[in-house]
Amino acid sequence: MIFSRKKKNVNDILEEESKSVRTLPEYLNKAVTIALIVLGLYHIYIGFFGYKSAMNLRATHWLIISMVIFLLYPSRKATLNKVTVFDWIWLIAAGASSVYILINWLRIAENAGMATQTDVIFGIIAVIVVLEAARRAVGPVLSAVSAIFLLYAMFGHLIPGSLGHRQYTITRIFSFLYTGTEGIFGTALDVSAKYVALFVLFGAMLEKFGGGELFVDIAFALTGKKRGGPAKAAIVSSALMGTMSGSAVANVVTTGAFTIPLMKKNGYKPTVAGAVEAVASTGGQIMPPVMGAAAFLMAEMTGLTYGTICMAAILPAILYFVSVFIIVDLEAKKENIQVMADQDIKPIKQILKERGYLLIPLILLIAMIIKGYSAILAASYSMAAIIVIDLIFNPNRKEIPKKFFSAITSGMRGIISVAAACACAGIIVGVISLTGIGAKFSGLMLSVAGQNVLIALLMTMVASLILGCGLPTTAAYMVLATLAVPALIKLGVPLLSAHLFVLYFGSISTITPPVALSAYAGAALAGANPNKVGYTAFRFGIVAFIVPFMFVYDNALLLQGTLLVILRVIITSLLGVYLIAIGIQGYFRKPCNWIQRILAFSAGILMVNPIVVTDIIGAVCLAAFAVITVIRDKKLKDQPV
C-alpha cells in the first residue's frame, strides 16, 4: 500500500530541495541539535509559565537561531561542505550582539534615547548580522530590500520633495533599529518568539506522532472512491495539513509525495497534478486554525485576538477549497478519470481505530481558540495533549522521548527561516517608523487613487503580489500593513478587511507567475514544466484573487453581520464559486462553448460579490447560461448516435 512507504520529515525534504543546508561534521551536528532542543524546551516552558521580559524572550530566541544559521547555511555554494573561519566570525558577532542586549537591556530601557557609543557599535554589528543571516536562510531579495530601506534612512535627506526626510545621524539610526522596540527586536521577532515557535512545534509534534500521515489517510479514505479521488484527496489533505503547518511549500512536499504520483497514475496530466497540489497547499496559509506567521503578526498589529482573525478567515478559506474541489471534479469528468484502486485506500474505520486519537489535540486547539484562550496557551496545552494521548493509546511508549525530541529539533529547524525573515523585516518596519515614509506612502497612494477604493485595492494587490514573489509572506505582509493598509483604512475599508486583504495576496503569490514557489515545488514532484504548472495553478486558484475584493465591499464574508445576511452571502458565494469553476474548466455535463463559459464565469463573479444588486444581475446571467445549456443538451440528445 502507498501508505507503507517511509516518509521523510518535511524540513528534510525542504532542505534537500533547496540544496542550501550545510552538511556538518558529527560534533557540530550534535551541537546544533542540542542548541535547537534547548531553544524548543525554552519556548515550551515560556508557553506554560510565561516570561518576565519580552525583550529577553526575543533576544534569546534570536541568539540561538542566528548562531545556528551561520553553521547550517553557507555564505556560498563553495563552502557547502565546510564551516569556514568567516562563518565562525559571523557566529561570534551574532552571539555577541544578542548577548549584549540581554545583559544591558535594563540600562538601555532606563536611558531611552541615550545610546552609548558601545550601543551603536553593537547596533551596527547586529544590523549587518541580520542582513547576512536573512540572505543565507531566506534569500537575497529580503536582505536587498532591507538594505535599500536602510540606505533610505541614511541618505533619504538628500531626496527632494515629499519622499525625503530630515537627516538622521548614524547613532540615531542604528540605536533605533537595535535598542528600540520597533526595529530588529520589534513586533515581528516578538511574534516569531511568542506564537510562531509554539505553533510550529505543535505542527512538528503532531506530524512526528503520526498526525500528518493520518490526515493523508483520512483524505484518501473520504475521497478515493470518488471520481478524481487523488486530486480531491490532495485538496482535503492539504486543508487538514494547513491546520497545523501554515506553510505552502511544506504542504506541497508533504502531501504531494503521496497525492501527485497517484493523480498521475489515475490519469491526471503531470501539469494538472502539480498545479492541483500547489493550489490546495497554498490554501493552508489561509486555513484556520494555523494560518502562518503573518496571521499572528496581524493579531499584534490590529489588536484583535487570534481567534477573531481565525473566525473571520473561515468562510473565505472554505470558498477557496470548495472552488478547487469543484475544478478538479469537472476536470475528472472532462478527462473521464476513474476512482482509485482499492489497494491505495485504507477504510476510514480502520484509520480512526488505529490513529483517530491524534485528532484530539487539533480539536482541543480549535476549541481553545474559539473559547477565547490565548494562542500561546492553546498551542501549549495541545502539545501536552499529544504526549498524554500517545501515552494512553500507543503501546510503544518507549518511542515517545525519541519522537518528542525529534519533533523539537524538526520544529526549531522549521522556525529558522521565519525568525530570520522577522528580524530582517524589523529593519524595514523600523526605518518606516523612524522616517515617517509610511504616512508619506499612504498620502501618495491616496493622491493617486483619489477617493476610489477599487483603485487603491488594485494598487495594494499588485504591490502584495510583487512583494510576495520575492519576500516571505510574513515580510510582505509587514511592509504593506505599514505602508498601504493605513491608506485603505482612510478610504473607509474596515481594519480587519484591510489587513486580511494584504495577507491573502501575499499568501497566494506562491501560485502567481512568474515566481510561483508552490507551483515550482509541485512541478518538481510531478516532473512537469514549472511555468506550465504555475499558470495552471493560477487559473485553478482564481477564486483566491476575487474573494478579497468581495469581503472588503461586504464583511459578511468575514462572518460579520446579521445571521440572515451571512446565510445569503454563504449560499450565493458557494453558487458563485461553482459557476466560476464551470467558466474556468469549460465543462458542465458536456464541453461548454465560449458563450456558456463567459456567462457562467460572469454569473459566478457577480454572485460571489456579496451585494444584492450583483446577486440579481448574476442570477440573470445564470438564467441565460441555463437556457443555452438546456438548448445545447436538447440538440445533442436529438442528434442520431
587-588 and 590-591 as β-strands: parallel, antiparallel, unpaired?
antiparallel
The angle formed by the CA atoms of residues 330, 334 and 340, to the nearest 5 degrees, is 75
Show the cell assigned to 319: 470558498
pLDDT value for 268: 86
Q: What gap in Å lies between CA 263 and CA 442, rounded to an integer?
A: 46
User: Closest by alpha carbon to 172, among 124, 208, 135?
Assistant: 124
pLDDT value for 13: 44
Instruction: From 176, 199, 233, give the residue that closes a domain.
Output: 176
pLDDT value for 245: 61
**CB 234 within 8 Å of CB 20:** no
Show the cell assigned to 220: 484518501
Number of helical H runs and strand E runs in the chain: 30, 2
Residue 53 lies in a domain: yes
Show the cell assigned to 289: 486554525
Instruction: From 176, 199, 224, give the residue that closes a domain.
Output: 176
pLDDT value for 162: 82
Residue 375 lies in a domain: no
**CB 327 within 8 Å of CB 228:** no
Domain count, the chain: 2
Show the cell assigned to 431: 526605518
pLDDT value for 3: 37
Q: Which residues contact 294 (CB under 8 A, 6 or more apart)?
A: 285, 473, 474, 477, 478, 503, 506, 507
pLDDT value for 1: 40
Exposed e or buried b per residue across 319-357, where buried means at least 16 C-beta atoms within 10 angstroms of its C-beta: bbbbbbbbbbbbbbbeeebebbeeebbbeeeebbeebeb
Residue 121 lies in a domain: yes
Residue 68 lies in a domain: yes
Q: What gap in Å lies between CA 113 and CA 93, rounded to an integer?
A: 24
10-residue stretch averages of pLDDT, the chain, 641 residues long: 40 48 90 97 95 93 97 87 93 97 91 86 97 93 93 94 90 93 91 91 90 85 82 80 67 79 85 90 81 82 89 90 88 81 82 91 90 90 95 88 94 91 93 90 86 90 83 84 91 93 88 81 88 90 88 87 87 89 89 92 84 86 93 76 51
Q: What gap in Å lies between CA 183 and CA 178, rounded to an integer?
A: 6
pTM: 0.83
Residue 84 lies in a domain: yes
Q: Distance between terminal CA atoms of the chain?
A: 42
Residue type, 361: P
Residue 531 lies in a domain: no
Residue 557 lies in a domain: no
Give me the half-sphere count of Cα atoms (radius 13 Å) on the Cβ side of residue 189: 33
User: Closest by alpha carbon to 199, among 289, 81, 137, 302?
Assistant: 289
User: Grid coordinates 503580489 are at which residue?
Assistant: 465
**CB 456 within 8 Å of CB 445:** yes
Q: What gap in Å lies between CA 400 and CA 396, rounded to an integer?
A: 8
**Phi, psi values for residue 183, rounded to 5°:** -115, -130
pLDDT value for 242: 65
User: Closest by alpha carbon to 511, among 345, 276, 300, 302?
Assistant: 276
Residue numbers of the domain that contains 90: 2-140+169-176
CA distances from 19 to 58, 298, 637 (A): 29, 32, 57
pLDDT value for 263: 85
Residues found in the chain: 641
Residue 346 lies in a domain: no
